[in-house]
């Protein structure tokens, strides 16, 4: 569908939420509550992010997660790599070699690889720090009740309440 998966979407939300206070440690529970997402789902995302070294986990009671790098040093591409299928590439054929007999001379493949590369660069250019730097003031006067109820977190998306 030429979309990132929901898990990846959640990943950007979770990471952005954490980037507001980059030094703090957050529990899965806290993040899930702040973002009104399911705890198991957020846990799953955090586990994957941990495995890929984007966040550091502290186990045991009073444990939690913290960014393992500064928000300036984490890109959307990092998050996508952690949560989307690898290898990166908009078509199967451009991502994986050996599927086609004409590979060497196939301009379709070459072009899809070129396009995929551009997409990748776009993802690499957006850093987590960009996600929290609010440069456009929010001009909404009175947010609806539902939104107000979630005021705790700086950015909340209306997703299935779970």
Partner DNA sequence: ACCAAATGGTACTAAATTGGTTCTAATTAG
Partner DNA sequence: CTAATTAGAACCAATTTAGTACCATTTGGT
Instruction: Give residues in contact with DNA (CB under 7 A).
Output: 1, 5-7, 10, 27-29, 38, 40-41, 43-44, 46-47, 50-51, 57-65, 85, 159-160, 162
- Tokens describing residue 54: 């984007």
What is the C-alpha separation between 91 and 114, in angstroms, rounded?
11
Interface of this chain with a second copy, residues 50 to 69, rule: CB under 8 A: none
DSSP assigned state of 103: G
For residue 60, the minimal CB distance to a second copy (Å) is: 31
For residue 38, the minimal CB distance to DNA (Å) is: 3
Instruction: Work out which of 51, 53, 92, 162 binds a second copy, going by CB under 8 A.
Output: 92
What is the C-alpha separation between 162 and 156, in angstroms, rounded?
14
> Helix (H, G, I), strand (E, B), or coil: what is residue 91?
coil
What are the CA-CA distances from residue 102 to residues 47, 93, 97 (Å)? 40, 11, 11
Site string for a second copy, 112-131 (x = CB under 8 A): x-xx--xx--xx--x---xx
Interface of this chain with a second copy, residues 5 to 24, rule: CB under 8 A: 5, 8-9, 12-13, 16
For residue 43, the minimal CB distance to a second copy (Å) is: 21
CB burial string 68-104: b at 16+ within 10 A, e below: eeebeebbbbbbbbbbeeeebbbeebbbeeeeeeeee
- Tokens describing residue 12: 């950007």
For residue 158, the minimal CB distance to a second copy (Å) is: 5
Under the rule (CB under 8 A), what is the footprint of a second copy? 1-5, 8-9, 12-13, 16, 76, 80, 84-85, 88-93, 95, 99-102, 104-108, 110-112, 114-115, 118-119, 122-123, 126, 130-140, 143-144, 146-147, 150, 155-158
């Amino acid at each position: 569908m030429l979309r990132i998966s929901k898990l990846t979407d959640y990943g950007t939300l979770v990471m952005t939420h954490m980037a507001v206070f980059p030094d703090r440690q957050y529990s899965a529970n806290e993040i899930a509550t702040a973002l009104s997402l399911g705890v198991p789902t957020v846990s799953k995302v955090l586990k994957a992010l941990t495995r890929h070294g984007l966040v550091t986990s502290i186990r045991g009671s009073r444990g939690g997660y913290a960014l393992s790098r500064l928000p300036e040093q984490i890109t959307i591409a990092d998050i996508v790599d952690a949560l989307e299928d690898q290898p990166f590439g908009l078509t199967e054929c451009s991502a994986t070699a050996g599927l086609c007999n004409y590979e060497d001379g196939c301009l379709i493949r070459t072009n899809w690889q070129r396009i995929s590369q551009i997409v990748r660069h776009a993802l690499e250019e957006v850093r987590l720090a960009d996600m929290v730097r609010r440069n456009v003031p929010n001009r909404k006067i009175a947010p609806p009740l539902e939104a107000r109820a979630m005021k705790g977190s700086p950015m909340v998306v209306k997703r299935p309440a779970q």
